[in-house]
Structure 1
Amino acid sequence: MDPVHRIDIDDPDVEMDMGQRLLYQGELFTGEAAEYIDDQIVYLDVYTEGIRDGLSQGWYPDGSRKSLGNVRNGMPRGEFKEWHPNGVLKARQFFDDDIYSLRDETFWDEHGNVTRDWHRE
């Protein structure tokens, strides 16, 4: 099995084409694209032939979890979560397999109090 190719999204060889596909050295990219602040990774997304397709993760600069979800063919699928910097869950969204398929979402403040709760009927 080949090792996963990881690039820094800020590398000068990285660009987006007119179709918003990720290119590395002029070619559609397949692998992991990471974003860093100093030496700390803050975002990591999986791409297949230039399109986000797989696990999408984010961290705050201190290394604590910021976001986690899956993307299929550029669209969110399943559960997406976000956390406040203090570790309290900030948002939970669930996407069906259909395009623009937000099924439900809940948002919380920094203290864990629900601020929005919506469910598609």
Structure 2
Amino acid sequence: MKYGYKTVWVPVLFLTLGITLSQLNLSWLSAKHAAAIPARYINGTNPALSFRQDTLLFKGQRYTGYVFTLFANNDTAAILGYTNGLQEGISRLWYPNKQKREERLYIAGKKEGIHKGWWPNGKLQFMFEVSHDENTGYFKTWHPDGKPERIFHYQNGKEQGSQKMWWPDGRIRANYVIKDGEKFGMLGQKICINKDVN
């Protein structure tokens, strides 16, 4: 037989869940992660699933496969991959309107790569880079109308370099630089003045 159960099972599962193959778009899944996570799917409401700290167990054993959750109308809410009980590969979440909500990459339970989130209207909500579970590089957020809210830069999990924030109306809220752990510029904080001191 040319096709094994894995080849047929994945499309049938997602079509049953109301996701077409064009909506699924598996191009984001690297060969490393596709090979690491077998095509085994369990509903997140299954009582045999449990967590011990950050480790997912199925019937008391570390789980390897995918966990999916559904909205009340049986549309897919989330698909999360696990290897040996730890999150692995791309995790995807959706809104009830079938709009993508989040895409995050995990390797051995740690956040890695570029993480993205969207507002229910489809506009980007956040995008940031992570390495070994720490923010590194840019961290960007947007207001629901698509205007920028924040552009921060990180190095080894700490703010470094230029940091900017905007109010929803587009006015600058903060604009500062962090150099050697010190902040320089407009921080967007209220200055407290004690009126009793001369």
The answer, yes or no, to whether TM exceeds 0.5 is yes
Matches within 5 A, 1:87-106: 87-96=146-155, 98=156, 100-103=157-160, 104-106=162-164
**Cα contact 1:21–1:51 (8 A) shared by 2:** no
Task: State the distance in 2 between where 1:15 and 1:106 align.
Answer: 41
Count of residues paired in the alignment: 114
**Cα contact 2:83–2:108 (8 A) shared by 1:** no
Q: Does 1:54 align with 2:113?
A: yes
1:111 shift after superposition: 2.4
Alignment-mate amino acid for residue 81 of structure 1: K
Matches within 5 A, 1:1-121: 2=31, 4=33, 12=44, 17-18=52-53, 20=54, 24=82, 27-38=85-96, 39-96=98-155, 98=156, 100-103=157-160, 104-121=162-179
**After the TM superposition, which of the residue ranges 110-119 and 56-65 deviates more from structure 2?**
110-119
Unpaired runs of 5+ residues, structure 2, are 1-29, 38-42, 57-62, 64-81, 180-198
Q: Percent identity?
A: 19
Task: State the distance in 1 between where 2:92 and 2:172 align.
Answer: 32
Q: Judging by fraction of residues, say which structure has more helix.
A: 2
Compute the TM-score of the two structures, normalised by the length of structure 1. Answer: 0.78
**Cα contact 1:67–1:80 (8 A) shared by 2:** yes
**Cα distance change on mapping 1:92 and 1:31 into 2, 3 Å:** same
Unpaired runs of 5+ residues, structure 1, are none
User: CA deviation digits over 1:54-107, x for unaligned, max 9?
Assistant: 1100000111111111111111110111111111110001001x3x42014211
1:118 shift after superposition: 2.4
Q: Judging by fraction of residues, say which structure has more strand.
A: 1
User: CA deviation digits over 1:29-76, x for unaligned, max 9?
Assistant: 321011221122111100001111111000001111111111111111
Alignment-mate amino acid for residue 28 of structure 1: L
Runs of 4+ in 1 over 6 A off after TM superposition: none
SS at match of 1:70: strand
